Amino acid sequence: MAFRKLLYYFYEKHLEREIKKNPLPAHVGLILDGNRRYAKEMGFEDISMGHKIGAQKVDELLRWCAELDIKVITIWVLSTDNIFRESSELSKLFSIIENKLLDLSRDPAVKKNGYKINILGNTNILPEKLKEVVRTVEESTKDNRERVLNIALGYGGREEIVEAVKKAILSKEGLSAEEIARSLKAEDIARYLYTYGVPDPDLIIRTSGEIRLSGFLLWQSAYSEFYFCDAPWPAFRKIDFLRAIRSFQQRKRRFGR
């Protein structure tokens, strides 16, 4: 066991040195999948233990990204579909998210590494207590300028696009429907996306072996590279993250050309 840990340590350092020689993604998106599956595999009677361990893993992710000087991270924590889970599981999940957000708002490492935290999604569907915590974490990090951490909470990619289109149409007040249809451009819609102001993700990582986006950043991921990892999120290691970055660096991006 000790020998294996030593091998992993040297392999991790080797990967890190190689990766730093090549261009790094400016924006990495992550679908944090597999918390419940991990809890079952580990034999936990309380499924929420998977979510708790997954929440702790976010601290490691922020440190890895700071070490590589990745400027923008977007993590998907709670989808609009998750809201329909059993109330007993959902209440525990909300509590874990609340506690994690409060921890981040007070975390010296968040301040030191300059993470400005934005919450992406329809916060209207969240409990009042969680809404208050959302406001707290955004307010406490609003002056940080070095990096951005987007947390997708109550988020659905289709819903995001629908809301952006509605706002784009309303911004053209006074025009007829035909005039709006003729004048509407992609940039008109992009202006009202949750991520407006930050670059689209260069790389999107999904853990736990599922090979789909499930609605994550549908508009923004048009030219993203994708990496699917078998490890569930709570078991995701720095080596897995570095492998994803290396895979990104080995691809030739064409942006549709």
Q: What is the pLDDT of residues 22-80, one digit of tens each?
A: 999 999 999 999 999 999 999 999 999 999 999 999 999 999 999 999 999 999 999 99
Report the amino acid identity of residue 113.
Answer: N
Let me know if residue 3 belongs to a domain. no
Taking CA 164 as the corner, what is the angle to CA 161 and CA 166, rounded to the nearest 5 degrees? 110
Question: What contacts 52, CB < 8 A, 6 or more positions away?
Answer: 96
Sign of the alpha-carbon dihedral angle for 174, 176, 177, 181: negative
- What's the confidence (pLDDT) of residue 1? 67
Let me know if residue 253 belongs to a domain. no
Let me know if residue 161 belongs to a domain. no
Residue tagged active-site, from 33, 35, 118, 202:
33
Question: What contacts 176, CB < 8 A, 6 or more positions away?
Answer: none
Let me know if residue 186 belongs to a domain. no
Range of the domain at 112: 23-156+200-248
- What's the confidence (pLDDT) of residue 253? 82
pLDDT in tens, 62-76: 999 999 999 999 999
Residue tagged active-site, from 82, 122, 188, 240:
82
Let me know if residue 140 belongs to a domain. yes
Whichever domain contains 33, its CATH number is 3.40.1180.10
What integer is the mean pLDDT of 109-117?
97
Helix (H, G, I), strand (E, B) or coil at 149: strand
Query: What are 203's strand-pairing partners?
Result: 28, 225
Predicted TM-score (pTM) of this structure: 0.94
Q: Are strands 72-79 and 115-120 parallel, antiparallel or unpaired?
A: unpaired
Q: How many domains does the chain have?
A: 1
Let me know if residue 28 belongs to a domain. yes
Let me know if residue 192 belongs to a domain. no
pLDDT in tens, 120-161: 999 999 999 999 999 999 999 999 999 999 999 999 999 999
From the list 142, 161, 155, the residue with the least C-alpha distance to 218 is: 161
Q: Are strands 147-155 and 115-120 parallel, antiparallel or unpaired?
A: parallel
Let me know if residue 254 belongs to a domain. no
CA gap 153, 76 in Å, rounded: 7
Identify whether 33 is a catalytic site residue: yes
